Amino acid sequence: MSNFYMRGDGVGFDNLFESDEGGPQVWGFWRDGGSTALRYAPLSAGSKGPDVGHFDANGTDLSWIWAAKGTVSYTNPMGDIGSYDGPYADCFTDRWYPARANNHLWLKWNRNGTWSIGLSTRNYTSLVARSGGGGIGYMYPDGKEVAAGNWAQQPRADFGDSYTISVTMEQHENGRWWIPRPASPTTWQWQPGAPGNWLNSTWATASGLGNDMPCNQDRTFEMVCDLSTQDGNWVYRDPNASLRIYNRGWMRVIVKRNGNVVLNFRYLFCMVNTYQDLDIIVPEGGSSGGGGGGGGGGGGGCVATDMWMDDRRQAMHIAVDDWVDGVAYNPDELVLRQVRANKVMPQPCYRMVTESDISIVASDSTPMTMRDGSSKLFGPEMLGEEVFVDDRGELRWERVKSMDYVGIRDVVLFNVNDQCYMAGEQRGRRISTHNATDVKQIQ
């Protein structure tokens, strides 16, 4: 053993220096006192520890050559990562049975020091035009890589052999996102928990999780959102309903080298499947109402926590019963609105920028009130549309010049009595978005 060499207090080299068989050797120091040279990580890869009282041929203490134990990672820093199946799989047929769609979303952690996020979406029914919409579900049956990177500073085939990974679920929520009868498709509601006993048993699951698993092989951590019905069960066939199921949350990822934590981050995921009756569904992004005191909108209304609500307060600072700047239309003006409920949650988000560079970050389920009183969701379909802005006191309608996906962000889901409110990335330059339509969905 390399503990044949010790510091004056009896602590052996294996407990003083970071093990690395590819590290530099020092002539005269051998493993087990034999002919195999000792090797530890170079000082450049970590930090110096206390002097050990052993020296190389030039009289340099070995603590200036080898890195102290627990100070080496060889990994790139990693913040939270995430993805969601924006191109979700749609099931829509003229009958509920045997419609089926499934989505798989995975994080792959590779032995060679790379990682990737991928998804696959599959619709098992015929792709037919939905009533009045003419749209079809997205299909990536063979999978599609949506993000990738290196967790190793210098990837190589056996890089992971000195590392372990722990992946545990910290926040996991699943359930249905549906239109309650007799409401319209502008009143989606989140309802955590099982949608009913008619779904298959793998509709919201995760696999591959575990603690201190060796990284000497490629590992995959997969989420499944699989929707299919049981034969002859018509429980949710509703002339005013369209059903979505979701599987969302985040995992804690901890990577260790020689027992020391070198990476600690979250993997956030959000998956949605849609199950629709061809005969009754309103086209995606459509509206059955709006205008007046704030317009119609879906079950969203989430702006990023760091958006400015006014010159002093960001969204994260707004409490229930606080007053914020709201919007009334026809005539267009700012009015005070009281916050009835709020909740912070991770959501997939876009950044909207108007022609005069007024910008806002919000979730893709946020409704936007149009000039004609209709509504659209906060996503690519808003490109070129007009939105209501407050430019340091000047109120006007202005076109959107860009919509860019910015990943999973923490957002605040507000309710201001089913009305619109102002927020933006810059103080004094804000954009109107619609709030959550139902207090129950954010409690």
- DSSP letters, 77-119, are ----EEEE-SSPPEEEESSSTT-EEEEEEEEEE-TTSEEEEEE
- DSSP3 helix / strand / coil % (the chain, rounded to 5): 5, 50, 45
pLDDT at 242: 52
Q: Which portions of the chain are predicted below pLDDT 70?
A: 1-3, 32-33, 83-101, 122-141, 176-202, 227-245, 272-301, 436-443
Fold category of 302-442 in CATH: Endonuclease - Pi-scei; Chain A, domain 1 (2.170.16)
**Of 411, 430, 370, 440, whose CA–CA distance to 183 is shortest?**
440
259 by Cβ neighbours in 10 Å (0-12 / 13-18 / 19+) ranks as exposed
The 10 Å Cβ neighbour count of residue 284 is 15
**Distance between CA atoms of residues 363 and 366, nearest Å:** 6
**Cβ-contact 105, 269 below 8 angstroms:** yes
**Distance between CA atoms of residues 279 and 287, nearest Å:** 17
- Burial pattern 208-239, b for ≥16 Cβ within 10 A else e, equals beeeebebeeebebbbbbbbbbeeeeeebebe
Secondary structure letter of residue 283 according to DSSP: P
**Of 302, 304, 310, whose CA–CA distance to 426 is shortest?**
310
The 10 Å Cβ neighbour count of residue 282 is 19
**Distance between CA atoms of residues 312 and 318, nearest Å:** 11
Tokens of 22: 């590819």
| 265-306 pLDDT, tens digit each | 999 887 766 554 322 222 223 222 222 222 223 335 689 989
Say if pTM beats, i.e. exceeds, 0.85.
no
pLDDT at 180: 54
**Distance between CA atoms of residues 84 and 121, nearest Å:** 11
Domain boundaries defined on the chain: 2-64, 81-277, 302-442
Tokens of 298: 């879906």
pLDDT at 88: 46
**Distance between CA atoms of residues 346 and 362, nearest Å:** 11
**Distance between CA atoms of residues 149 and 303, nearest Å:** 28
Tokens of 304: 């990023």
pLDDT at 139: 59
The 10 Å Cβ neighbour count of residue 276 is 23
**Distance between CA atoms of residues 165 and 214, nearest Å:** 6
Q: Parallel, antiparallel, or unpaired for β 90-93 and 260-277?
A: parallel
pLDDT at 96: 39
44 by Cβ neighbours in 10 Å (0-12 / 13-18 / 19+) ranks as exposed
99 by Cβ neighbours in 10 Å (0-12 / 13-18 / 19+) ranks as buried
**Of 325, 328, 262, whose CA–CA distance to 295 is shortest?**
328
**Distance between CA atoms of residues 144 and 192, nearest Å:** 28
The helix/strand/coil state of 415 is strand
pLDDT at 441: 38
pLDDT at 2: 54
**Distance between CA atoms of residues 416 and 188, nearest Å:** 17
The 10 Å Cβ neighbour count of residue 136 is 14
